[in-house]
Structures are given as C-alpha cells and as structure tokens.
Amino acid sequence: MSTIAPLEHAAIALVIALLVALAAEKSRVTALLPALITALAAASTVVLCALIVSHARYPFHLDLMEGVVQQHARRALRGETLYPVATPEFVPLAYNALYYLLAAPFLLVVGDSLTTLRLVSIIGSLGAAAAIFVLVRGRTRSAWWAAMACGLFFAAYAAMDAYLDTAHSDSWLLCTALWGTYLVDRDSRRARIAGVIVLVAAFWFKQHGAIFLGAALVYLTWREGVRSSAAYWLAAAIFGPLLYLYAPASVLGPAFHFFTWHVPSGWSQFTSHTIPRVVLFVAETYLVLAIAALWGAYLALKARTVSVLDLMLCAAFLTAFMGSLDPGASFNVFIPMGAFCIVNGTIELQRWNERSPSWHGLRPGTVGLLLAFATLVHDPRAYWIPAKAGASYADLRATLSALPGPVYAPGIGQFPDGDTLIPAAHWVALDDIMRGPHRSAADSTLARTLLDGAAKPGREWYVLTNHPLGELAPPVNELASSFVLVKDFGDRFATLRTLPRRFDQGYPRYLYRNKGDGALSHGP
C-alpha cells in the first residue's frame, strides 16, 4: 500500500487543485494542465521502469511467497505434479495452476531463477497495460486519454500492493481479465468465443477470475439470447468447471482440489470490517476514479445501455468484496477492482469534458484526472532495493551454512538458489491450511504433522524467523515451547526486508535452537 497516509493524499490533491484553480484564474494557463498530467503519467512510467529494473535481479524474495511459487514452477519444469500431498519439504499454495505452467518454459529457456519468474509477471503487467490502452482508446477515441489511463495504472503500483512485478499470478489474472473483456466486446463471434476462453484462463491463474467469466456470460446471454449464447457457455463449461473437476492427476497431483478448493473455501468470514475495508481502501487510492466509474455505470443502467465494461466493473468490485471476506488477505485482492476503476473511470472523465461546460477554462474531467494521479502518489524509495542487499543475502547464506545443524526458516521456505533449509514448509502455506472459521481437526493435524521433525528433540536444530517465534501464526508458533532464542541479529539483515505490503513481513532476525541438546556449539 502507499506509504502516504490518507490525509496526506487528500492534502496533496487539495493543494494541487487550488494551485491549478489559482493559475487558471490569474494567469490563464489552463492550456498547461494537460501537459502537467502528461508529465505525471510519464514520470509514473519512468519510476515504475526503474523499480522493475531494481527488483528483477534481486537474488532474494521480494514477497514472502515467491520461494514457494518458485518451487511450484520448478516442479512444472521437471514434469512433477504441482499439488502433491503436503510434505515437510513442500506444501502447495492455494492458487490455481496456470502461472506455474506458463512459467516453466521460461525457466527452461531463460534460466531457473526468480528473475525469470518476475519477467513472466512483468510481461503480464505490460499485457494488462496494453489492454487498458486499447479499451480506453476504443471508448474515448483518444490516444491521449488512453495513455493517461496507462499512466494511472503505472502510478497505482503501490496501491496494487507492489505485486505486478513479483513472482505471482496477479498480473496475469489482470491481463486475461482485461483482454477477455476486450474480445467479448468485439462484433466477431469468433472473437467473443476467444474472449470467453481467455476469461477461463483468468480463472486458471486465480480463482476469482471465475467472476469475470460469469459477468461475460451474463452479458453475452443478454446481448444474443439464450440459444445463440450456448456456444459461449459450452466453451466456458469445458475449459472451466469440467476441466477443473477432471483435470489429470498426473499433471496437477492428488491434492489439487484440496489446496485450490478446500483450503481457500475455509477463509471467508463476513465481519464488521469486511465492507469498510473495501470502502476505506477505495477512498484512499481510487476515490475520483471509482466515483467516475460508478457514475458512468449508473447512467448506463438508467439509459439501458449497459456495456460489458459496466458489468466487468461490477465483477471487479465483487472480487474486492470476496477478497475482503478473508481477513488475512493482502491488498493484492483489490488489484482487479483498481484496474477497472482506472479503465471505466478514465472513460467517464473524458465524457465529463464532453458533457459539462468549462469553468474559467478548466474542464471537469481533466481536473478529475489530475486528482486521480494525486491520490495514487507514493514514495518510490520505499520500494527500492538497497545496493548492499546482495551482499546481505550472501552473508545470510554463509551464516546459516556455518551452523552445526539444519535450519528451518518459516518466513523463507526455501532459498531460491539451493535446497539447504530443512524443512521447507512455508508458514503462509501452513497457515492457509489452518486459518479460517471452517477448519476441521484434520486440517490442523495435517499442518502440525508437517513440523513434527523439527519439534522433536535428539538432533541439533535451528529456526530462523522474521518475528519472535511465539508471535507467529500456528502451527509455527507452537515450536516456541521446544526452542530457545540464541541470537537476535538486530538490523544485520534489514536490507532483506520484503517490499512494503499490507502486513509487515519483516526480515530474518531471530535465531532459535531446540532445547535440551546441550549448549550452542558454534556462534552464528
């Protein structure tokens, strides 16, 4: 999320608006306002490019789950099943499989590294940006407004939780949702069928993609009638639920449905924070764009001219609500909502300019566009990788290698350049199995069993954590009764902190040793 507080966002927006109004009234320089917005869009693009370069070659994890994603992709590369029965060495994540399958050829050709996986995500983000440009230009018939929508997308890097260039499927979910929307809106029947298949792919990247597929099918049925839309429903059924239900276990594995259906189905719970969380997030980041987008959808509904973009906007807000039902989810669950607010909001802002008279030369849509950029302001330095991070990572590897026993690092899982951590079960994957109001005793038992080896005495064993062991989520925190703190590294590895996200993910700091096996034989 942005490192600037909501009140600071509002203050920045207000100051900019007042300065623009003053300039328009006193100096008659309103013609410079589009140039100022163009400069903001260009600056956002340059900043994002610099961050991508900074991140791409970083040898350690930009996010807690990058290592587990890499394990998945490596399994796909080796022809192993992606969702085997969980073991201490590998616990699958709850995401669908297409990102891992897409990444495997890149690992083969480009190289087996986190840099390659990030490259895959960057391609997805560029594809999403291209779709935003095409969608906005098609409705506004203006390359400038389309380019400004792309600038807003790049400026929203922090609002999108810095997930668009890390080894995750979010960028490809967005890319397929946007391009699927574009194709569904074409006049060609073949293009619309292709759009349905692309939206099915969105589901195979992340489960929430099914909501966009559903919105497209509703739109096509309303537009063409039940009989004519049968081909769309058939394509969606074959490549969606039927393939999901009967996917070959030889590729996906025996635990595919357990991890991609049973595990996430237990997370949802409606609380007093569910809706306010979405509303407050929108107020801080996409307020102007959301107001414009929803107003445009209201006008379309009132005039009975609802388009596929209007339905997709509703679908995007539904994905945000579904994501907010999981209290433990990060802000990446709001990425599709943000992207469709940008697309629909920019289109409606351009229409404001056409519908409303100017005030002292100021066009309402152009001012709204400036305020939209202001609310997405963030400090890029918070996302910059320090120059000494590589040396710090080498120091961490050497420090752990010098220990006389195996090391379990629940916040790391496994190192990206060597299988040296034992076990390698990441705490996020373990917590995913246990958390939520709909968990069974069997789920909790499974997660605890995966750490039995590290908890049993009889062998010198270490645990490295980012936060105090007892403060972590179960079952990892239950190791606290069997381990004692032997070293607090302080800020020694602070440069290995992950990118700023909703939760403080910390950095490697606390080293524990199992109790009852004598004194520490080697200092860390």
Q: Tens digit of pLDDT for each residue in 281-293?
A: 999 999 999 999 9
Average pLDDT of the segment spanning 103-119 = 97
Q: What CA–CA distance (Å, rounded) separates 269 from 261? A: 16
Confidence band, pLDDT 50/70/90 cuts, at residue 24: low
What does the block give as tokens for 119? 């490259």
What pLDDT sits at residue 141? 97
Q: What CA–CA distance (Å, rounded) separates 146 from 135? A: 8
What pLDDT sits at residue 9? 57
Q: What amino acid is encoded at 367 in this protein?
A: V
Report the relative pairing of strands 407-408 and 462-465 from DSSP bridges: parallel
What pLDDT sits at residue 287? 96
Would you say 124 and 486 are in contact if contact means Cβ atoms under 8 Å apart? no
Q: Is the pLDDT of residue 459 over 90?
A: no
Which of 237, 219, 239, 200 has its CA nearest to residue 309? Answer: 219
Confidence band, pLDDT 50/70/90 cuts, at residue 520: very low
What's the mean pLDDT when you consider all of the chain?
91
Share above pLDDT 70 across residues of the chain, in percent, rounded to a whole number: 91
Q: Is the pLDDT of residue 335 over 50?
A: yes
Confidence band, pLDDT 50/70/90 cuts, at residue 460: confident
Q: Is the pLDDT of residue 359 over 70?
A: no
The angle formed by the CA atoms of residues 323, 325 and 328, to the nearest 5 degrees, is 75
Q: Is the pLDDT of residue 427 over 70?
A: yes
- The full DSSP string for 438-473 is T--HHHHHHHHHTTHHHHSSSS--EEEESS-GGGSP
The least confident of 321-335, 430-444, 462-476 is 430-444
Would you say 210 and 240 are in contact if contact means Cβ atoms under 8 Å apart? yes
Domain boundaries, the chain: 6-56+94-382, 388-514
Q: What CA–CA distance (Å, rounded) separates 102 from 176? A: 13
What pLDDT sits at residue 248? 85
Confidence band, pLDDT 50/70/90 cuts, at residue 6: very low
Which of 354, 511, 312, 410 has its CA nearest to residue 91? Answer: 410
Would you say 56 and 122 are in contact if contact means Cβ atoms under 8 Å apart? yes
Alpha-carbon Rg for the chain in angstroms: 25
Which position has the higher pLDDT, 14 or 213?
A: 213
Q: Is the pLDDT of residue 111 over 90?
A: yes
Average pLDDT of the segment spanning 60-84 = 95
Q: What CA–CA distance (Å, rounded) separates 298 from 291? A: 10
Q: With H, G, I as helix, E, B as strand and everything else as coil, classify residue 342.
A: helix
Would you say 145 and 151 are in contact if contact means Cβ atoms under 8 Å apart? no
What pLDDT sits at residue 321? 97
Q: Tens digit of pLDDT for each residue in 81-90?
A: 999 999 999 9
What pLDDT sits at residue 11? 55
Average pLDDT of the segment spanning 375-387 = 92
Q: Is the pLDDT of residue 234 over 90?
A: yes
Q: What CA–CA distance (Å, rounded) separates 437 from 432? A: 12
Q: What CA–CA distance (Å, rounded) separates 414 from 234? A: 42
Q: Is the pLDDT of residue 522 over 50?
A: no
What pLDDT sits at residue 452? 84
Q: Is the pLDDT of residue 360 over 80?
A: no
What pLDDT sits at residue 515? 84
Report how far apart the first and last C-alpha atoms of the chain are (Å, whole number).
Answer: 35
Average pLDDT of the segment spanning 334-350 = 98
What pLDDT sits at residue 25? 56
What pLDDT sits at residue 27? 52
What pLDDT sits at residue 249? 85
Q: Is the pLDDT of residue 2 over 50?
A: no
